[in-house]
Each structure stands twice: as structure tokens, then as C-alpha cells.
Structure 1
Amino acid sequence: MFELDDVSCTPGPAGAMATVRGIPLSEFDVVLCRCDLSTPPWTEKIQQLLLLNGEPGVTVLDPLDVHIRAASKRAMLQQLTLDGIPVPPTRECHSAADVRLAFDAWGQVVVKPALGYRGLDVERLLDGPTPSALELVDTLVERHGTLLAQPYLAHTGDYRVLVIGSKVSSCTRFDTAGEAWKPFSGDLADDPVSSAFVDPPDELASLALRAVKATGLTTAGVDIIMSEAGLTVIEVNPVPGWAAWTPEMARVPNLQLVEFAESRAGAESGVGAASTRGWR
């Protein structure tokens, strides 16, 4: 386990060499990338990822371009749309005036950071462009720079479908209604709302798999809601979390992830399975 700050450019026999905590990156077979790009310094994180992705023979899951495109909600939604995946219409906003246009179009809106996670600063505005709503928007714009506005789609539950490789690993239903309208508020003391593991209907599982395939990710958490508009993908998360699961539950995706990583590394190296020198 290491962080991006542990990836460094150091002197090597032939010049510059990438290392992880002083270990040459070339000694690893596979790297599972679960870095969060929603917090600064973004440019430094990209440079660290470039270094991590630059070693021939080292498989990074997922590669830099795939990870960044999924982390960027704008690019992720664009890609899903291009592949025919149902997503909410989305307006990029840099001011309260931009959000007013969203109110004009949809009446009730959700605003969220263009880069974000865990539902932090995702707000539902149901009463139009009231002074308090616009004041909140100004605060969010000042904090994040760019917001995304979407119509609020009334629903009573969210689904998080965990996909590993090309298979559904699990499906969680979060019972969201009333004031508890989103599964995660960003406050660890309150999360999540009531939830249960369910067997996803074929339509739900198929949509999740199509969404992940569209993004090019190999591991992802797909957020899907059911509203009057039908099944709608809210986003595809490149770093799905299952840290809060019990150890017994977590063993299932943990094992699936290791098996998939070994299989992918083995396929790319032309052997049956990867060695384990990189699993430290």
C-alpha cells in the first residue's frame, strides 16, 4: 500500500528512474490505482500518475487516461452519453447566473462539484432561485470554481453496483427518501442511510456493466437511480469504496480484485499468472 506522494523520480543507472518508497517501479507487476483526484494539488497528482504509468511492463489498473476521464464528472458523463447510457442532462456552471439557467430549464436542480466524492457539497435545491439558494451556490462556486447542475429526479432509492473486471461483484440498495435523499452526505458520522445488499435485476446489472465498459474502467462503482424517467446512471466512480463493509463481506471483492489483477497482468505479460513480487 502506498500513496502518490511515495512515487518519486530518483537517480538511476541510466538517468531518471521511478521509485515507490525507494523501490524501483520496474520491480512491480501490477499497481491498483485508487487515488482520489478531487482534492488539490491536482497538477502534482497528475505528474505523479504520469510517472507511475510510464514504466514498460508494469500494469496499472486503471491507466492514467482512463482514471482521469472517469474522475472528471464532465468527461465521464460525456463518455456515457456517447455510448448511449442514460444520464441526467448536465449544465456546467461558473456562477449563480449559470445556475439560474438550470432553474429556468428544470425547476428543481441538484448542484455538485465538477470534481468531488462522498456526496460532499452535493446540494438539492427544490424551491427555485431563492436568495438562500443563490447564496449557497455562490459559496460552492467560490469553493470549487466549477459546478455541475442537473435536474433533480425524484426517487426513493439509489443503487450502487460494484463491478470488477466484466462482472458484477455486488449491488447495494440505499433507501433514500425525504431529507435523506442521497446515500452519502460526506459526514462519516451519518453515513450511510439504511442499506441492504440485493440481487440486481438483469436490467440494472446490464446497465451497470455497459456504463463501466463505456468508461474503460476495470473496477468501478456505478450509481443508478430509478425515477419516472426509468433507470438513470448518476455517475461511475473510478474508486468505489467498500472499506465500511464487514471483513467477511470485504473478502469477496478483495479476492475478486486480486484474481482480476493477476489475470490482467498475466495476460499482458504473456504468461498464465503474474508473479507476486509486487504484492507487498
Structure 2
Amino acid sequence: MRIGILGWDREETESVGLSHAGKERGHDVALFTLDDIALTRTDSGSEPTALGIPVRHFDVIVSRAELRPATFQADHERYALLSEVPGVTVLDPAFTYLTAECKLQGLHRLAAAGLPVAPTRSCGSLADVTDALDEWGPLVLKPSFGYGGTDVERVFDVRSDPADRAVVDRLFATYPVLVCQPYLPHPDGDVRITLVGDEAVLNCRRVPAGGGLWKANIMQGATSVPFEADEELLDVSRRAARLMGITIAALDFLPSPDGYRIVEINNTPGWYFVDEEEQRRICHAVLRFVERTV
């Protein structure tokens, strides 16, 4: 089988690991990025290529693409070109990927399906944030598109606390609309369920670093510990991933008085923080899914 790995970049642990796993399993594998995709002229017109290889030559492309803010339109266009070649399976295609990248749209879709989602609204102004504070108390604000905990902020009082007001002003200077959720305390961390298809390949609790740090994000200093997920949590995760159409998905849950609530769904989850043998196991799980699917 000829497999393309659309990598986050050429050095990303997960992208490189998937490339190695594919080769170990006897496949012809090419690792490329969005920057390597072009529309190339041919005798009969034009066709999409990746690293100069016609995309039609691939059987399947596994995507870990990064749609970068500074080049978002060009990145999405190249991704869409890649996703529209007859006979080539893309896991996942550009439309599915973009929908999953949008936190507001994704959470709304999950909530409409009756899944346990943390209360969520959009905020487009300081007045919106003030209304949410009056309703929910302390809030978490974040961009609808983003990763790694960047610009995820907690605010308590924008009326009398200049620091909180400055945080909100800074966010609105960068993003026209913010995702707004009530702050759910999680001193023991959040829960992340990582799926490949219906298979739970990595269940962990991400514990904040402490010392005033509250973000349960590995890139923000949190640590990962194994977590024994019950069947109910796994079922919710699978239903959410199927609903969004995501092949490799990670569901982030926080505890609430009503049980665990989904706060985010991710379509390019990382596993770089586990040991090399675990990384290899997850990469081979992805390739097994590809072999079954294609």
C-alpha cells in the first residue's frame, strides 16, 4: 500500500513515528507537509502533487496537518486540493478537519446530540464576558481555533480587577470571538481519551504543574499519569468521535457536579509524552486501522 503522511512538520514525533511504523509494516510511505502540496501542470491540465508525487498515486493519506494562523487560507486550500482526488482516501479530509478544528462548532454539535458537554457560549465583547461572569462565576476564555493551551485564560472579575480586564482586552485585540466556559476546578487534572477509530489507545489524566498553574496541558507543564476509564466514558468518547467524523481523536473531560463533561475534542492529538514503546504501539494501531479501512 502507498501511504502518505501529511505531517504537522517533518520533525514532529507523531508524524515521524507513523512514517516509521508504515515502513515497518511493509508499506511505501512518504512524509510531507502542507508546504509540499502544489497544483502541478500536466499535458492534460493540472493535478495535485505532494513532494512532486501525483496525489493519485497514493492509496491513503493520514493527516496530522497544521493549519497555521498566518497562512490559514493557503493551508486550507492545499489541504482541500489533496482531499478531492478520486480514489484516494484521506483520513481525515479537509472539511472534516476544519469542522473539528473549530471548538465552538464542534462543542455545539456534540451538545445538540445530547453528549455531556461543558456549558459553552461565544463571547464577542466585554459585555458578553461580564454577562457570563454574572451567570457562571469564574470563566475560561480561549480562541475557537488553537492548540497547546495558547491564549487559554481564566478570569474572575473584569469590573474591578484591572489584571482580568487587561487579559480580556488583549484576547479581543487578537480574536473577534472567544469560546467561553465556566471554570471547572480540576486540581487532580483533566482526563484525555485518545481513540483510533473505536479503539482507545491512550487513556491518561493530565495533572497541572501546580504552584498557581492550572492548565492541564502537557505543553504548559502538566504531567501525564495513566487513567482507567470506565465503559461509559469510553462510549461517550466513541460517540463524539463518530459524530465529528474524526479518525484519530482525543476527548478532554473535566469533572463537574454532574459527572465528567467534554471541554474539547481534538483531531491531531499528541502522544510524544509517553515512552518510545508506547509511541510505537499507538503508531502501529493507526496503521492497523488504515489497513482495515483501505
Give the TM-score of the pair, scaled to structure 2: 0.84
Structure 1 letter corresponding to 2:114: G
- In structure 2, the CA distance between the partners of 1:214 and 1:42, relative to structure 1 (3 Å rule), is same
Residue 237 of structure 2 corresponds to residue 208 of structure 1:
yes
Matches within 5 A, 1:253-264: 253-264=282-293
- Contact conserved, 2:133 with 2:156, CA < 8 A, in 1? no
Partner residue in 1 for 2:224? 195
Structure 2 letter corresponding to 1:179: G
Partner residue in 1 for 2:268? 239
Matches within 5 A, 1:94-133: 94-127=124-157, 129=159, 130-133=161-164
- In structure 2, the CA distance between the partners of 1:38 and 1:161, relative to structure 1 (3 Å rule), is farther
Partner residue in 1 for 2:117? 87
- In structure 2, the CA distance between the partners of 1:119 and 1:150, relative to structure 1 (3 Å rule), is same
Partner residue in 2 for 1:183? 216
Residue 96 of structure 2 corresponds to residue 66 of structure 1:
yes
Residue 193 of structure 2 corresponds to residue 161 of structure 1:
yes
Q: In structure 2, what is the Cα distance between the partners aligned to 1:94 and 1:161?
A: 31
Number of residues paired by the alignment?
261
RMSD of the TM alignment (CA)? 1.7
Q: Tell me which of 187, 204, 207 is aligned to 1:172.
A: 204
- Contact conserved, 1:95 with 1:138, CA < 8 A, in 2? no
- Contact conserved, 1:162 with 1:220, CA < 8 A, in 2? yes
Helix, strand or coil at the partner of 1:220: strand
Deviations 1:243-267 (A, max 9, x none): 23221110111000011112211xx
- Contact conserved, 1:120 with 1:185, CA < 8 A, in 2? no
Structure 2 letter corresponding to 1:52: L
Deviations 1:207-265 (A, max 9, x none): 21121122111111110111213110011101001123221110111000011112211
- Contact conserved, 1:37 with 1:71, CA < 8 A, in 2? no
Helix, strand or coil at the partner of 1:40: helix
- Contact conserved, 2:37 with 2:82, CA < 8 A, in 1? yes
Q: In structure 2, what is the Cα distance between the partners aligned to 1:204 and 1:185?
A: 21
Structure 1 letter corresponding to 2:37: V
Q: Report the CA distance between 1:127 and its aligned residue.
A: 4.0
Structure 2 letter corresponding to 1:241: G
Q: In structure 1, what is the Cα distance between the partners aligned to 2:255 and 2:235?
A: 14
- Contact conserved, 2:218 with 2:224, CA < 8 A, in 1? no
Helix, strand or coil at the partner of 2:46: strand
- In structure 2, the CA distance between the partners of 1:185 and 1:110, relative to structure 1 (3 Å rule), is farther
Q: Report the CA distance between 1:38 and its aligned residue.
A: 5.4
Deviations 1:182-231 (A, max 9, x none): 222754xxx2x232122212222122112112211111111011121311
Q: In structure 2, what is the Cα distance between the partners aligned to 1:50 and 1:198?
A: 37
Give the TM-score of the pair, scaled to structure 1: 0.88
Taking CA–CA contacts closer than 8 Å with sequence separation of 6 or more, which of the two structures ends up with the larger relative contact order?
Answer: 1
Residue 171 of structure 2 corresponds to residue 140 of structure 1:
yes
Q: In structure 2, what is the Cα distance between the partners aligned to 1:45 and 1:81?
A: 29
- Contact conserved, 1:224 with 1:234, CA < 8 A, in 2? yes
State the identity %.
36
Structure 2 letter corresponding to 1:118: G
- In structure 2, the CA distance between the partners of 1:221 and 1:202, relative to structure 1 (3 Å rule), is same
Structure 2: runs of 5 or more not aligned: 1-30
Partner residue in 2 for 1:54? 84
Q: In structure 2, what is the Cα distance between the partners aligned to 1:179 and 1:211?
A: 32
- Contact conserved, 1:38 with 1:117, CA < 8 A, in 2? no
Q: Report the CA distance between 1:72 and its aligned residue.
A: 0.5
Q: Tell me which of 19, 22, 42 is aligned to 2:72.
A: 42
- Contact conserved, 1:10 with 1:19, CA < 8 A, in 2? yes
Q: In structure 1, what is the Cα distance between the partners aligned to 2:218 and 2:292?
A: 36
